[in-house]
Amino acid sequence: MSEISKKEIAHLAHLARLELTDDEVAGLHHHFQAILDYVKSLEALPDLELSAEPRKTRVELREDVAGESLSPADALANGPQVQDNQFVVPPIIEDLE
């Protein structure tokens, strides 16, 4: 069985620039070990033949045609704030000057 030590978890946390308490490391140790145990259990599954082409059937695509769309009034009807046929949203880029 693969094992991971608390020291290795602390090292990973350090590499990720995480500050963990001893209790957090112990909790993560439990979770990491459960993940490793699960991966180890997958080794018991039979090998499957892999294929470079997983899907042998051709995917049929529909023709790209324009259909009905909403009118501007319908599209803007549920907007929280509308002005001049446009949604009003808060600025996300502040003035850099």
Which pair of tokens denotes residue 18? 């995480």
pLDDT at 22: 92
Pair type for strands 82-83 and 86-87: antiparallel
17: region left, alpha or beta (phi > 0 left; psi from -120 to 50 alpha): left
Query: What domains are there in the chain, each with its CATH number?
Result: 6-42 (1.10.20.60)
Averaged over successive runs of 10 residues, the pLDDT of the chain (97 residues) comes to 87 93 93 92 79 70 90 91 91 74
